[in-house]
């Protein structure tokens, strides 16, 4: 009986440990984003900040074509600046960037911030597109979020309208 209790304790301990590792990583990423915002280092490297209240998710938006890496969001070159008419943001489908986009619903809110102002957007549509389909990127008064799919054969986009 004592051996069974010890085995159960070990299983519970290992399970809790494995559960806490991703949570700790996410906390570290959020702290890193907060540190960048607070130190105002982003003014020279970053275009702004993306915040998704539904998931309490925030990340910096980098400028330039080579900005896309595993943990950042890139503002595509043909986008207007934060608060502009058309903005397209791309990010990888991983737990640090855009893997939760699939769980956004119509009317969910997203906030973009530049150094002095917040801009609110509401989700209007989600859809899968071909990798070379850019037809939805020309919608006025919009924010488009784009990420790859798990099989990398399509792209998933979220179309938001500025409010």
Q: State residue 44's pLDDT score.
A: 55
Cα-trace Rg, the chain: 19
What is the assigned CATH class of domain 44-162? mainly beta
Please give the structure tokens belonging to residue 134.
């850019």
The set of residues, in sequence order, having a beta carbon less than 8 Å from that of 59 and lying 6+ positions away, is 29, 33, 49, 50, 71, 72, 73, 91, 96, 97
Q: State residue 69's pLDDT score.
A: 66
- Over the stretch 72-127, which tens digit does the pLDDT of each residue have? 899 888 888 888 889 999 999 888 899 899 999 999 999 999 878 999 999 999 99
Contact indicator for 113, 119 with CB cutoff of 8 Å: yes
Q: How far apart are CA 147 and CA 154, in angstroms?
A: 9
Top pLDDT among 8 and 110 is at: 110
Q: How far apart are CA 25 and CA 92, in angstroms?
A: 17
Top pLDDT among 60 and 158 is at: 158
Q: State residue 42's pLDDT score.
A: 45
What size, in residues, is the chain? 163
- Whether 63 shows a pLDDT value over 90: the answer reads no
Q: What is the mean pLDDT of residues 12-20?
A: 67
Q: What is the mean pLDDT of residues 129-152?
A: 89
- Over the stretch 19-47, which tens digit does the pLDDT of each residue have? 666 655 566 556 666 665 555 454 456 78
Q: How far apart are CA 83 and CA 44, in angstroms?
A: 18
Q: Would you list the DSSP string of the chain?
A: -HHHHHHHHHHHHHHHHHHHHHHHHHHHHHHHHHHHHHHTTHHHHEEEEEEEGGGTEEEEEE-SGGG--TT-EEE-TTSPPTTSSEEEEEE-SSTTTTTTGGG--TT-EEEEE-SS-EEEEEEEEEEEEETT--GGGG-TTEEEEEEE-TTSSEEEEEEEEE-
């Amino acid at each position: 009986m004592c051996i069974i209790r010890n085995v159960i304790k070990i299983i519970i301990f290992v399970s809790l440990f494995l559960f806490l590792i991703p949570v700790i990583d996410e906390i570290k990423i959020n702290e890193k984003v907060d540190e960048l915002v607070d130190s105002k280092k982003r003014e020279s490297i970053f275009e702004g900040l993306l915040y998704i209240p539904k998931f309490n998710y925030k990340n910096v938006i980098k400028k330039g074509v080579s900005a896309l890496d595993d943990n950042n969001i890139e503002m595509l070159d043909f986008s207007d600046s934060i608060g502009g008419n058309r903005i397209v943001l791309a990010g990888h489908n991983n737990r640090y960037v855009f893997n939760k986009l699939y769980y956004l619903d119509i009317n969910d809110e997203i906030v973009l911030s530049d150094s002095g102002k917040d801009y609110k957007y509401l989700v209007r549509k989600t859809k899968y597109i071909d990798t070379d389909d850019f037809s939805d990127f020309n919608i006025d008064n919009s924010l488009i979020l784009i990420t790859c799919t798990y099989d990398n054969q399509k792209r998933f986009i979220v179309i938001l309208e500025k409010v």
